[in-house]
């Protein structure tokens, strides 16, 4: 379903730590990103993993707020506490989203213009 490509931070300053190329961003492919970066449910994780899982799960909850066709050409970026970037992308990634923790300690999914 998805083809995972990992980049080393040393090779390029702008390359994400993890890039998961998929045909469509959906609940299933976001679940694969969780497993790839954090591990299965119940896996013991550090603060970074817990934070990242929370962001990806918030994205899953917000998928239906946008048109389904949009997710076939989308790029969603998640940022860990250590500044690592985790990206899931379908198509050319024309529709760009960023998931982050806001000032109220709530995870927010924002579409970039």
The per-residue pLDDT for range 76-104, each reduced to its tens digit, is: 999 888 888 999 999 999 999 999 888 88
Length, in residues, of the chain? 113
* Helical (H) or strand (E) element with 22: strand 18-22
Using CA atoms, how far apart are residues 37 and 32, in angstroms rounded to an integer? 9
CB 79 within 8 A of CB 108: no
pLDDT of 3 = 52
Could you list the residue range(s) of the whole structural domain that residue 31 is in? 3-111
CB 38 within 8 A of CB 66: no
pLDDT of 9 = 38
- Could you give the number of structural domains in the chain? 1
pTM for this model (two decimals): 0.82
pLDDT of 46 = 84
Using CA atoms, how far apart are residues 54 and 23, in angstroms rounded to an integer? 23
The per-residue pLDDT for range 3-62, each reduced to its tens digit, is: 554 443 334 556 778 899 999 999 999 999 999 888 887 777 788 888 899 999 999 999
Q: How confident is the model at residue 113 (pLDDT cuts 50, 70, 90)?
A: low
Residue of 3, 56, 64, 12 lying closest to 31 (CA atoms): 56
């Amino acid at each position: 379903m998805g083809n995972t490509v990992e980049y080393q931070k040393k090779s390029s300053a702008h390359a994400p730590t993890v890039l998961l190329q998929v045909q469509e961003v959906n609940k299933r492919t976001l679940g694969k990103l969780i497993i790839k970066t954090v591990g299965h449910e119940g896996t013991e994780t550090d603060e970074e993993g817990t934070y990242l899982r929370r962001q990806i799960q918030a994205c899953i909850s917000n998928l239906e707020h946008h048109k389904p066709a949009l997710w076939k050409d989308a790029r969603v970026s998640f940022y860990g506490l250590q500044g690592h970037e985790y990206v899931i992308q379908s198509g050319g990634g024309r529709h760009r989203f960023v998931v982050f923790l806001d000032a109220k300690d709530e995870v927010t999914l924002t579409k970039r213009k």
